[in-house]
Amino acid sequence: MAKKKTSIKDIAKALGISITTVSFILNGKAREKRISEELTKKVQEYIQKIGYKPSHIAQSLRLGKSKVIVFMVEDISNNFFASIARLIEEKAYKNGYKIIYCSTDNKPEKAKELIATFKMRNVDGFIITPTPNLEKTILGLLEEGLAIVLFDRWIPEIDCSYVVVENEISAYEATEHLIHQGCKNIGFITVESDQTQMLERLKGFQKAVEDSDVKHIIFKVKFHPIAEHEAGNSLLEFLKSYPELDGIFFSTNYLAFEGLQALSRLEKKIQKEVKVVSFDDHYFFNLYQPRISAIEQPLELIAEKLMESILIQLDENNQDKMTQQITLPNVLHVRESSELSD
């Protein structure tokens, strides 16, 4: 016969105190409820002795808090999202919260199912890179009073906290850099996407080429975060068709990886024959020869602002819970791939 699990009632009976007192101590409210340190210590020592572990679900229902935040991104294996996740985990832990990670694959139905599941688990908040058609779901979460912060992209129609970077400005600067390096025929390689960050990068590129007299072409790869080899095949065909390109700007680093491989197969000499810049820096770009110029997003600052924004919403003592809409600057690292060759 299975051993009966110890309850708060059992602890209260064993120590000769009320169930309410035990509950306050277990939930960290001893000082707030003016319970003596001596009694608090007595309860803590007893539960340690018997190995009592409170039910997480029951505790979260009593407190209205699970101390859990969901970090929902497009693809958690992507280096950008993984780096942010690691930094957030550390900052959350220091503030008494745990993080649950999940990937949506940019699929609205999957995102909605995940959100519904985590709501049932009584999580406290969500940090989300929104998929298309998620507006109603996000509005529903806000109406229910859950802490929500969007990042990497935002939803213009919704007044919601977000943390993004200067996509348009950085794309403009990177394109302008290629033009200043003498590029006369520039290709912008991006994904088929209506996501705000991708549209802003495209807008920055278009504005820069329109402000100059250079020729340009935009090539959009079908979006799929898993099947990146498909992007490689289509990129190879595109580059074969436009041998006159002397400058290429990749809108994401994973497109740059595939593009560099395609350029290598075509025996194109980077820097001498074609200059290259990528959005979203990666350690690989410093290892490649020649080293690849890239726009670095401020990962540490993004993570810091995400946690700062969601913690403000989760703070019961903070009456001023205004929406925080933060846009952070990037840094363009100019390396050999886009510099003038000797």
My answer on whether 171 and 293 are in the same domain is yes
Residues 6+ apart with CB under 8 A from 187: 216, 217, 218, 219, 238, 242, 245, 247, 248, 249
Say if residue 59's pLDDT is above 90. Answer: no
Lowest mean pLDDT among 87-96, 240-249, 270-279, 314-323: 314-323
- DSSP one-letter string for 85-127: HHHHHHHHHHTT-EEEEEE-TT-HHHHHHHHHHHHHTT-SEEE
Q: Could you read off the pLDDT of 177-215 as tens digits, one per residue?
A: 999 999 999 999 999 988 899 999 999 999 999 999 899
User: What is the predicted pLDDT for the residue at 226?
Assistant: 46
Which H helix or E strand runs over 145? none
My answer on whether 30 and 115 are in the same domain is no
Give the whole-angstrom CA distance, residue 187 versus residue 256: 12
CATH number of the domain encompassing residue 111: 3.40.50.2300
pTM over 0.75: yes
Give the whole-angstrom CA distance, residue 38 versus residue 32: 15
Query: Number of structural domains, the chain?
Result: 3
- Domain assignment present for 63: no
| CB atoms near residue 172 (< 10 Å) | 21
My answer on whether 100 and 13 are in the same domain is no
User: What is the predicted pLDDT for the residue at 61?
Assistant: 46
Average pLDDT, the chain: 89
Point out which residues pair with 219 in neighbouring strands: 189
User: What is the predicted pLDDT for the residue at 219?
Assistant: 97
User: What is the predicted pLDDT for the residue at 318?
Assistant: 63
Stretch 11-36: mean pLDDT: 83
The pLDDT-based confidence of 120 (bands split at 50, 70, 90) is confident
My answer on whether 187 and 284 are in the same domain is yes
The answer to whether 268 and 274 are in contact (CB under 8 A) is yes
The pLDDT-based confidence of 222 (bands split at 50, 70, 90) is confident
Say if residue 139's pLDDT is above 60. Answer: yes
Residue percentage of the chain with pLDDT more than 70: 90
Stretch 114-141: mean pLDDT: 91
The parent domain of residue 30 ranges over 8-54
